[in-house]
C-alpha cells in the first residue's frame, strides 16, 4: 500500500453540472486532440443510448453519455461527461505490483508506462471501469485519462475544460465542492440532492451535479469507503507464499517487458538515424 500522504484540500477538481451540458462533445474532441488519440471504428447505437463511441477505450479517454427519459409525458435527453474520477485514494494504485499508478499532489492519478507489466489488476480494481487495455498492440499497455497532468503543471487547465462552453468548472477541490453545495442550496428544485464524487470510493476529484436520480442516468453505486482498504483486507487472507510467487512472477514479467521495450526503442532509434541525411549528401 502506498505510504504517501496527500493533502486533498490542495487537489484540483472538476465540477460537472449535467443540467448545463448541451451534449456538444467538444470535450471529447479536445481530449482526442491534446492526447493525440487515433480515430476508431465505432457504431452509433450502443444499446444503452445514443453516445458515440459506445464505450471508452485505448483511443477514447472521455465521452459524453446520452440518457433519454420521460418528463411531463415528453421524451427528454440528459448528458454527462464520463472520465477517470481521479480518486483521492485510488484502487488502481493500491493493486499495481510495480507502482505504475500514482496519485499526484495536484489531483490527477497518473500512469507510468515504463513500469507497467500488463497485469491488468488496475482494470479489475477500478470501481468506475476506467483503465483500458491496448488490445490492438503486440506489446500492450494500459491507457486512461491523465487529468491533463502535463498541462496542470504548467498552470493550464485541462483540455476538456477549455473546450466546454457551459458545464465544466475547474479549480481547487474545496472550492469546487463549495460551489456545488452553493448551487444546490440556491436552486434546490433544479438539482438532485447528492453530489456524486464527494464520498464515492473515499472521495474523488470529479464532482457531478444532476437533475435526475443518479441511477436513472447510469451512475454506478460505489461504496463511500476508500477501496484500497478493501484491497488490503482481502490480501491479508491470501497465504504469503502466493504473494511471494506472484511478486516474483510480476518482477520477471516486468523485466521481460522492459527488455523487449528497450530493444524496440533502440531499433527505432537506429532506423531514424539511418533515415537522416549524411554529411556530404546532396540536399
Kindly list the domain boundaries of the chain, sorted by start residue: 8-87+145-230, 238-274
DSSP state of 197: T
How many Å apart are CA 230 and CA 241, to the nearest integer? 20
Q: What is the pLDDT of residues 236-266, one digit of tens each?
A: 444 444 444 444 545 555 455 555 555 665 6
Q: What is the pLDDT of residues 149-196, one digit of tens each?
A: 999 999 999 999 999 999 999 999 999 999 999 999 999 999 999 999
pLDDT higher than threshold 90 for residue 20: yes
C-alpha cell belonging to residue 82: 464520463
The pLDDT confidence band at residue 70, using thresholds 50, 70 and 90, is confident
Mean pLDDT of the chain: 83
How many Å apart are CA 155 and CA 171, to the nearest integer? 11
How many Å apart are CA 258 and CA 230, to the nearest integer? 30
| Contact predicate 195/207, CB 8 Å | yes
SS3 70: strand
pLDDT higher than threshold 90 for residue 140: no
pTM value surpassing 0.85: no
DSSP state of 195: -
| Contact predicate 100/41, CB 8 Å | no
Per-residue model confidence (pLDDT) at position 2: 44
* Burial 153-187, CB ≥16 within 10 A → b, else e: eeeebbbbbbbbeebbbbeebeebbebbeebbeee
The pLDDT confidence band at residue 87, using thresholds 50, 70 and 90, is very high
Distance separating the N- and C-terminal Cα atoms of the chain: 57
* Fold of the 8-87+145-230 domain: Alpha-Beta Plaits (3.30.70)
How many Å apart are CA 5 and CA 28, to the nearest integer? 32
Smallest CA-to-CA distance from 9 within 90, 88, 63 is with 88
Amino acid at each position: 500500500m502506498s505510504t504517501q500522504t496527500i493533502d486533498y484540500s490542495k487537489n484540483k477538481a472538476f465540477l460537472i453540472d449535467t443540467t448545463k451540458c448541451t451534449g456538444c462533445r467538444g470535450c471529447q474532441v479536445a481530449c482526442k486532440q491534446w492526447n493525440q488519440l487515433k480515430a476508431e471504428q465505432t457504431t452509433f447505437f450502443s444499446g444503452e443510448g445514443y453516445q458515440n463511441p459506445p464505450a471508452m477505450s485505448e483511443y477514447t479517454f472521455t465521452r459524453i453519455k446520452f440518457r433519454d427519459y420521460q418528463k411531463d409525458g415528453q421524451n427528454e435527453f440528459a448528458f454527462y461527461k464520463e472520465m477517470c474520477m481521479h480518486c483521492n485514494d485510488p484502487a488502481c494504485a493500491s493493486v499495481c505490483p510495480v507502482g505504475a499508478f500514482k496519485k499526484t499532489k495536484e489531483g490527477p492519478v497518473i500512469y507510468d508506462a515504463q513500469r507497467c507489466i500488463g497485469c491488468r489488476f488496475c482494470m479489475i480494481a477500478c470501481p468506475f471501469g476506467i483503465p483500458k487495455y491496448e488490445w490492438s498492440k503486440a506489446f500492450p499497455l494500459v491507457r486512461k485519462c491523465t487529468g491533463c497532468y502535463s498541462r496542470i503543471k504548467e498552470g493550464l487547465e485541462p483540455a476538456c475544460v477549455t473546450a466546454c462552453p457551459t458545464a465544466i468548472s475547474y479549480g481547487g477541490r474545496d472550492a469546487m465542492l463549495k460551489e456545488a453545495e452553493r448551487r444546490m442550496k440556491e436552486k434546490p428544485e433544479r438539482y438532485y440532492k447528492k453530489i456524486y464524487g464527494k464520498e464515492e470510493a473515499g472521495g474523488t476529484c470529479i464532482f457531478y451535479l444532476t437533475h435526475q436520480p443518479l441511477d436513472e442516468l447510469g451512475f454506478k453505486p460505489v461504496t463511500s469507503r476508500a477501496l484500497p482498504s478493501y484491497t488490503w483486507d482481502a490480501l491479508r487472507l491470501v497465504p504469503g507464499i502466493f504473494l511471494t510467487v506472484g511478486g516474483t512472477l510480476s518482477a520477471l514479467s516486468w523485466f521481460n517487458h522492459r527488455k523487449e521495450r528497450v530493444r524496440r526503442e533502440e531499433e527505432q532509434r537506429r532506423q531514424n538515424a539511418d533515415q537522416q541525411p549524411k554529411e556530404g549528401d546532396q540536399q
